[in-house]
Amino acid sequence: MNILVIGRGGREHSLVKKIEESPRVDTVYAAPGNAGMTEAELVSISETDVEELIHFAKTNQVAWTVVGPEVALMNGIVNQFREAGLDIFGPTKEAARIEGSKAFAKDIMKKYDIPTAKYESFTSSNDAKAYVKDQGAPIVIKADGLAAGKGVTVAMSVEEAIEAIDVMMEQSQFGDAGKEVVIEEYLEGEEFSLMAFVHGYKVYPLIPSQDHKRIFDGDTGPNTGGMGAYAPVPHLSQEAIEAAVRGILEPTAAALVEEKRSFSGILYAGCIQTQEGPKVIEFNARFGDPETQVVLPLLENDFIQVMEDVQAGIDPQLNWKDGFCAGVVVSSAGYPGDYQKGILLPNVKGNRTVIPIYAGVRNEDNQLVSDGGRVFLLSAQGDTLEETIETIYNTLQEAQVPSTFFYRRDIARKAIRTSVSGYKYTK
């Protein structure tokens, strides 16, 4: 069969690689894809040009379309493909609102008693600032709409919170996404990402992972789309994972059915393990990035079979490889602010277990050059998390990455310590 993957980033490259492993697949198309996706045939159609994508899928006998980016989902690509009689993996526009509006998601959680931080929503910056002054800091300010993972400020002072409100609501840095803000209590605990295949009431969880959102070592600096990740999370107990599935993913899937927004696709819960148990930080309506890059390589199943089983309401019986997968993002220096493009990529020597996953790249004179903020992720697999992450950093060091690029040097360091699973990292 022929498969179409919609999107251009690292998440989509991982999907392409996983789908291409299936013996049932003839050709994987990526629209628009990127120059690093050598496993796919690139199609120069934008993620949002749904009419052209439908025409392409029909003309090229595409059996399944898999949607990567959130914007396409919010715009209703799944609804339109299904109306055209085409099979597509992802939630409808109505179900995807769980990611498209943070206020909507919080209201759903409140209505159905799904554990999350206390919050209030505001469309007036004056009211928002008054609330912050009344509550004090630390406090969390979130743009209601989509902001590519950057519309969140964890303010450690009232002044920082006021500035974040100004940036979102007065200066419109995130456009319409910041017209409404959600202000939440600050939660203490260990963050983790838990994705699941969902179809209606049925939930099939993937292994947990942990993302690193801040740009600098020690989780400092502004939020990004993600600077690295690893899976599974050795210091997260099985009891905590099961509590998140039972208390968060399953009731959320049921709530969306009850709200006549039945979800089918990947539901992503960004969670935090507090003293009171796991709570929701955010929901996404698709595979996470960069979590997908470290979770999918550990999945033993045929992705196509899993997708078909989930859509049919059949338990896909997910099986996972032993060991760990980790990834470190190499970004353009200056990201998430201004940065240069067109810089020749460092010569990273990959092998069977050390694999570059490309995102912000293009082809120039038959060479890959940078074309975005997050340029590529270097992933590796290993028996222990310590071995895995050291392999990545040794490979990057050997590549002599120039100062025009930047990467964090502490991905997974907090996790490589004495834990419930017995892993320990010693500097």
CATH class of 190-311: alpha beta
What CATH superfamily classification does 124-179 receive? ATP-grasp fold, A domain (3.30.1490.20)
Sheet-wide strand order for 62-67: 41-42, 27-32, 2-7, 62-67, 88-89
The helix/strand/coil state of 332 is strand
Nearest-angstrom CA–CA distance, 47 and 28: 16
Nearest-angstrom CA–CA distance, 84 and 102: 30
The helix/strand/coil state of 59 is helix
Confidence (pLDDT) at 351: 82
Buried b / exposed e across 374-399, counting CB within 10 Å, b at 16+?
bbbbbbbbbebbbbbbbbbbebbeeb
> pTM of this prediction?
0.92
What CATH superfamily classification does 324-406 receive? Phosphoribosylglycinamide synthetase, C-terminal domain (3.90.600.10)
Does 124-179 match 324-406 in CATH topology?
no
Looking at residue 248, the DSSP 8-state letter turns out to be I
CA count, 13 A, side-chain hemisphere, 60: 21
Buried b / exposed e across 238-273, counting CB within 10 Å, b at 16+?
eebbebbbebbbbbbbbbbeebebbbbbbbbbbbbb
| Tens-level pLDDT at each residue, the chain (427 residues) | 999 999 999 999 999 999 999 999 999 999 999 999 999 999 999 999 999 999 999 999 999 999 999 999 999 999 999 999 999 999 999 999 999 999 899 999 999 999 999 998 999 999 999 999 999 999 999 998 887 667 888 899 999 999 999 999 989 888 888 889 999 999 999 899 999 999 999 999 999 999 999 999 999 998 898 999 999 999 899 999 999 999 999 999 999 999 999 999 999 999 999 999 999 999 999 999 999 999 999 999 999 999 999 999 999 999 999 999 999 999 999 999 999 999 999 999 878 889 999 999 999 999 999 999 999 999 999 999 999 999 999 999 999 999 999 999 999 998 886 343 443 333 2
Phi first, then psi, for residue 243 (nearest 5°) are -65, -35
**Residue 185: in which H helix or E strand, if any?**
strand 181-185
Confidence (pLDDT) at 149: 63
* Proportion of the chain in helix, strand, coil states, percent, rounded to 5: 30, 30, 40
User: What are the C-alpha distances in Å from 132 to residues 160, 161, 257?
Assistant: 10, 7, 34
The secondary structure of 301-318 as a DSSP string is S-HHHHHHHHHTT-----
Domains of the chain: which residue ranges? 2-93, 124-179, 190-311, 324-406
Confidence (pLDDT) at 419: 42
In the beta sheet, which residues pair with residue 369? 344, 362
Nearest-angstrom CA–CA distance, 201 and 103: 23
Fold of 2-93: Rossmann fold (3.40.50)
H helices of 237-302, where?
Answer: 238-244, 250-258, 291-295
Nearest-angstrom CA–CA distance, 184 and 117: 6
Q: CB 236: neighbour CB atoms within 10 A? A: 23
Phi first, then psi, for residue 156 (nearest 5°) are -90, -5
Q: Is 317 left (phi over 0), alpha (psi -120 to 50) or beta?
A: left
Nearest-angstrom CA–CA distance, 233 and 116: 21
